[in-house]
Amino acid sequence: MARFWVPVEHSKRFYEALTFDLDFIPNDARLYLSWGHTQLSFPIETGTDADYRAYLEAEVYPGEDPEALVLAAEYLLMQQQDYLQALALAEKALTLDPQSEFAYSIKSLLEVRLGYQAAARSTIATALEMVRKKAFPNERDREQTIQAWEERLEQLKE
């Protein structure tokens, strides 16, 4: 059991039943409890973002693991943080592993977010060229992969 004091606020809205709302904030949350015209809330802090950032700084950025680099770039993209750093990580991953379809995908998404449409088209064209030369376990997978890249390229031309 935990007890703590939280300031209570008057709500303009009437809550007929005890209501719990959880408002997600990137890597944290705020819990709201409401009943009648009364509402209270408090933050729930996880520290996940700070821990992951420290891990990136210490382990990933100086490293040479292309998969870790592209996963870090994807994390920054999904968190909508530091797109230029994420792009640099994706480019470093491609330097270390030029056959990484995932790295091409993340790099092109970042270029679109940054407004670098021409660069994104070039990245997708390079990925498409690489995929066409790549060996696949079966023809269906090959065709679907090529079609997905062609659709992404077509979307950027519009």
**Res 145: pLDDT:** 94
Amino acid identity, residue 72? A
- The residues, any chain, with a CB within 8 Å of residue 126's CB and separated by 6 or more, are 104
Cα 12 to the center of its chain, rounded Å: 36
**Res 157: pLDDT:** 83
Amino acid identity, residue 24? F
Is the CB of residue 93 less than 8 Å from the CB of residue 103? Answer: yes
**Domain ranges within the chain, ordered by starting residue:** 8-45, 48-157
Is the CB of residue 108 less than 8 Å from the CB of residue 92? Answer: no
**Res 30: pLDDT:** 94
Amino acid identity, residue 51? D
> May I ask the CATH architecture of the domain 48-157?
Alpha Horseshoe (1.25)
In which residue ranges of the chain is pLDDT below 50? none
DSSP classification of residue 79: T
